[in-house]
Chains A and B, each alone.
Chain A
C-alpha cells in the first residue's frame, strides 16, 4: 500500500467526500491560507469554488452558528477552527445549539456538522494557541469526539464525521502532520466509537489518543527492550462515545493501566477512562491506574518550560514502571 502523510490523508478525505457528497461545504478561518491549516486544505478552493470552500471573517461564534443552521437545512458543513483555542468563542453554538437541537425538538431536527479543531501546541505559542480541549466537548451530551492518531484513521474518521448525522468534533494535532503511513487510496470510513489495539501485549495496557499514541508506542518499545515488559497499546481513536468493550477487554487481560492524554489531567479525558475502569472492572486491576497528562497550568512559551510541560514517551515509560512495581500491602 502507498504511504502518505497525515496531513495529506486529511486533504484526500476532503477531496473525496466533497466530490462524492455535493452538500458538503467547508468554512472557517484560514481555510485558504497557506499557514493556518498546513497542507490539509490544498486544492479544495480551486476544485470546489467559493460556494463550497469559504474563508470566513474572524467571527467564530457567527460562522459556527451559520454552519449549524446550514447543517439543519440540508448541508453537511465542516467548520475549521485552525487553533482549538479559538473555539471558545463558539461554545454557545456548539454546546447550546448544535449538541442540543436534536434532543430538544424530540428528534425532529438534526445537525450533521463536523467541527474540526486543530491542536497547535509547541513552538513557543503559549497559553492561547496551544490548547487541547477535548475533555470539554467530551462532557457534552449530543457531541461525538474523535482524535485520530494514524494517517489512515485521519482519513477514515474525517469521512465518517462528515457523513454522521450528528455534530462531531474532529481533533487533529499538527505534530502528527508529517507522520507517514499506509493509507488506502479509495473512499472508506473508520467507524466512530471503535478503539484499536496497535500493539498486542500481556503485562500492561497503555491507553492513548492522538499524538500520544506515538509516544506510547515508543515507550512500549523501550519497555520491551530494556525491561522485558510486554505492553499493549490501545489507540482510543474516538473519545466519545468511548469503546468501553475494547478498553475493558485489554485491561482484564493485563490488569495494569497507564492512560496518556494530551489535555489537562484534572477532570480530563483520562479521568473518565480511569473512572469507568475502576467502577466497572475494579476486580481486574492489579495496580492503581496512572495517568500521563498536562500539568494544571496554562501552556508556557519558553522552550525550557515547554520541554517539561508536554508529556513524552519517557513519562509514559516511567509511569508504566511504577504501575508494574506496585505491590499490594499485606
Chain B
C-alpha cells in the first residue's frame, strides 16, 4: 500500500480513496470484534466514522511527508501506508508489532513512511509536528509535516503555542483538526465558549477553513490546495474537519448508555457514512461496478485475515528484552 513519491495530481483516484477508507473501516471493525471477544486487551480508540479525514489528507501527501497523530491513530497510520500486519501484531503486544510490543494501540510509528509516531497525551503531537516542519525547513528537504489532533487538543495551551510558532516562522506544517464534537465524553459546547476553532486560527495570520470531514473528496481537494500553499513556502495551513466518531471514546461500544449522546444522534451520523457516500456516487457515475466494489472488499478482508494470522503466529517479546530500547546506542 506504500505510495510512490511523486507529485500528487489534484484529480482524485476514486478507487484508491474507496479502497483506503474500506481498509480503515474493516480493519477497525475486526479490531472491535477482537476487543469484544477480549482477545485484544490494550486500550483501543476506534476511528470508525472519521475515515474520510485520514484518507483524504494522506492521499494528497508524498511518502516522505511527516505525519503525527494521537491516541486515535490507526486510521492515520494505515492511510499513510503503514503495514497492517505490524499494526495488528502491535495490538496483540507481539514482538513483530510496529513498536515491538512496547507501544500498544496508542503508540504506533512507521518512520519508513514518514509516520513518526502517535502520542497518547492530548495535544502533545502538535509542537512535535511543528518541530518536524522546522527540521524540514532547516534541512531544506521540502517535506511537509501533517499533524492530526482532535477538538479536545484545542483546549490545551500548547496548541496555541504551536500555532503561534508555526505561523511566526512560516513553517511547512498542515494542521488537521478532526472536530468530532467530543473530548472523551464532554461535548464541545461545554469546553469552548464558541464553536469557531477555524476562525480563531485566522487571528494568527494562518489560512484556515472548516470543511465537511465526512466527504473524502472535499477533504482531498482542500488538502491538495493546502499542500500546494505550503510547498510554495507560504507557511502553515489549518483545516477543521467536521466529523463524528461512531464508537466509544475508548473500546468497541457506542457510548449511548450514558447521558452525553443519544442513539438517535449516533444514527444520524451513521447515515452520513463517508464510505457509503463515496460508494453511492461512484456507482451512480459508473466509476466502478458493484462487482469491482465487491472485489475490493474481498481483497481487504483477505488482507485483514492475513494480518490477524500474522499476529497470532508471531511471538511475544522475550522477557529478557524488557530493558532494550531505553536508550539508542
Contact = CB atoms under 8 A, between A and B. Distances in A.
Contacts of B162: 62, 65-66
B131 A70 contact: yes
Nearest to A101: B117
Contacts of B237: none
Contact of A69 (B101, B134, B325, B326): B134
A65 B127 contact: yes
Interface in A68-103: 68-75, 77, 92-93, 96-97, 101-103
B127 A66 contact: yes
Contacts of A107: 100, 324-325, 328
A105 B106 CA distance: 10
B132 A57 contact: no
Contact of B130 (A69, A96, A97, A141): A69
Interface in A116-148: 141-142, 144
B164 interface: yes
A59 B204 CA distance: 15
A144 B134 CA distance: 25
> What is the interface of chain B mostly: helix, strand, loop, or mixed?
mixed
B119 A106 contact: no
B109 A105 contact: yes
Contacts of B326: 102-103, 141-142
A99 to B, nearest CB: 9
A142 B103 CA distance: 15
Contacts, number: 154
Given A104-B102, A107-B328, A70 B127 contact: no
B328 A166 contact: yes
Given A66-B162, A141-B326, A105 B102 contact: yes
B135 interface: yes
A97 B128 contact: yes
B107 interface: yes
B98 interface: yes
A228 interface: no
A96 B124 contact: yes
Contact of B111 (A61, A63, A109, A165): A109
Nearest to B329: A165
A112 B325 CA distance: 14
Contacts of A103: 102, 325-326
Nearest to B321: A106
Interface in A29-85: 51-52, 56-57, 59, 61-75, 77
Contacts of B157: 61
A147 to B, nearest CB: 19
Interface in B114-132: 116-117, 119, 121, 124, 126-132
Contact of B127 (A52, A68, A165): A68
A307 B116 CA distance: 49
A25 interface: yes
Contact of A105 (B68, B117, B137, B329): B117
A102 B327 contact: yes
B128 A109 contact: no
B182 to A, nearest CB: 22
Nearest to A106: B100
B328 A110 contact: yes
A166 B328 CA distance: 6
Contacts of B141: 74
A102 B111 CA distance: 12
Contacts of B107: 104-105
B126 A105 contact: no
Nearest to A72: B116
Contacts of B50: none
A70 B117 contact: no
Nearest to B168: A57
B161 interface: yes
Given A66-B128, A92-B121, A96-B119, A56 B328 contact: no
Contacts of B324: 107
A66 B134 contact: yes
Given A52-B138, A61-B158, A142 B327 contact: yes
Contacts of A165: 327-329
Contact of A106 (B102, B165, B327): B102
A108 B127 CA distance: 20
In this complex, which of B131, B134, B136, B328 has the most chain A Cβ atoms within 10 angstroms of its Cβ?
Answer: B131
A25 B101 CA distance: 33
Nearest to A67: B131
Contacts of A77: 131
Given A75-B138, A104-B99, A104-B103, A61 B116 contact: no
Contacts of A200: none
B139 interface: yes
B49 interface: no
A69 B139 contact: no
Contacts of B100: 106-107
B328 A73 contact: no
A102 B328 contact: yes
A62 B130 CA distance: 9
A72 B124 contact: no
Nearest to B104: A104
Contact of A108 (B109, B130, B137): B109
A302 interface: no
Nearest to A62: B161
Contacts of A51: 137-138
Q: Which 4 residue pairs across A and B have the least CB separation, nearest first? A: A69-B131, A65-B127, A62-B161, A106-B100
29 contacts: A56-B165, A57-B168, A59-B164, A62-B158, A62-B162, A63-B161, A65-B126, A66-B128, A66-B130, A67-B131, A69-B132, A70-B132, A72-B128, A96-B119, A97-B119, A102-B325, A103-B325, A105-B102, A105-B117, A106-B98, A106-B99, A106-B100, A106-B325, A107-B328, A108-B110, A142-B326, A165-B327, A165-B328, A166-B327
Given A73-B132, A97-B124, A105-B99, 5 more contacts: A23-B139, A70-B138, A73-B131, A106-B98, A141-B326
